[in-house]
Amino acid sequence: MTCNCVNGERKNCIQLVPIFSSLNYDEMMEVARITTDRTYEKGEMIYMAGDEVKKLYVIHKGKVKISRLSDTGKEQVIRVLGPGQFMGELSLFSPHPLTDNAEALEKTTVCIIDGFEIKKLMAKYPTIAIKVLEELSNRLEKTENLIENISLHGVERRLVDTLLSMANEQGEVILKMSRKDLASHLGMSRETLSRKLSAFQDLGFIEQIGHKKIIILDKEALITSVQN
């Protein structure tokens, strides 16, 4: 479903994205003029592995799951993105089709910028290209850390590291994805995730509230439990 969004609304979408933060009003309107808008319903695919879209997708509202499927059909959740974040960027710089899938986790509106046009803007405004590289570097670092955790650490260590990284200063963790997707992201089954969380709760390390909220009650004990 395509949105009939005016340039002002597209500008609001563009303003959310750090890669465009250095642009002034007229420059943002220049981006808005080459931007289209579309809304996806929950569960709808924005793009799939094998597509040759050559577009940059900017999330205005909602959440999107980025994942890949193995040869056996097993899903690996790579990341969950929200407003102000972008996806599809690898298709801009690679001659190969996309290798991941983007699925709307809830009703989601995205601003879509043609790849040829965004590369022209990068040449005109180098700060955009620099910020794209910065974001890609951050994502590469997170992916490398995920690979390291899956390769070198057991399921409990991976889970603890993830909970600590997601917790706010009060020790509250609000899951941005389903527990099934979290388990996939960590390289474990949903049953293993549930069992480990229940074990941590029985030990008094955490408290689970509903399906989305986890409170870390004893951070030091949680860390110590996976150090040996």
The residue-averaged pLDDT of 9-28 equals: 73
CATH number for domain 7-150, candidates 2.40.50.140, 3.10.20.70, 3.40.50.300, 2.60.120.10: 2.60.120.10
Q: What pTM was computed for the model?
A: 0.69
Q: Where in the chain is the domain with CATH 1.10.10.10?
A: 153-224
Closest CA to 91 of 129, 120, 57, 43: 57
- pLDDT over 70 (residue 191): yes
Report how far apart, in Å, the C-alpha atoms of 12 and of each of 22, 46, 100, 179 are.
14, 21, 27, 32
Tens digit of pLDDT for each residue in 196-210?
999 999 999 999 998
| pLDDT average, residue stretch 115-125 | 86
pLDDT for 172 beyond 90: yes
Q: Is the dihedral of CA 133, 34, 102, 213 positive or negative?
A: positive
160 to each of 181, 184, 196, how far by Cα in Å? 16, 15, 10
Q: What is the pLDDT of residues 59-97, one digit of tens each?
A: 989 999 999 987 777 888 888 999 888 888 877 778 888
In the chain, list all ranges with CATH 2.60.120.10.
7-150
For all residues of the chain together, what is the average pLDDT? 84
pLDDT in tens, 20-31: 777 788 788 888
Query: Domain 153-224, what fold?
Result: Arc Repressor Mutant, subunit A (1.10.10)
* pLDDT interval class at 132 (50, 70, 90): confident
Query: Stretch 103-119: mean pLDDT, rounded?
Result: 90
Q: What is the dihedral of CA 25, 31, 36, 42, to 10 degrees?
A: -80
Mean pLDDT of 37-59: 91
Residues in the chain: 228
For residue 4, pLDDT beyond 60: no
Distance of alpha carbon 139 from alpha carbon 142, whole angstroms: 5
Is pLDDT larger for residue 179 or for residue 27?
179
| Over residues 104-129, mean pLDDT | 88
pLDDT at position 62 = 93
- Measured distance CA(221)–CA(108) in Å, rounded: 39
Residue 140 has pLDDT above 70, yes or no: yes
Above 70 in pLDDT, residue 215?
A: yes
- Nearest one of 221, 227, 226, 77 to 156, comparing CA atoms: 226
| pLDDT score, position 3 | 43
In the predicted model, is pLDDT for residue 40 greater than 80?
yes
Q: Centre a 10 Å sphere on the Cβ of residue 183 and count the other Cβ atoms it contains.
A: 21
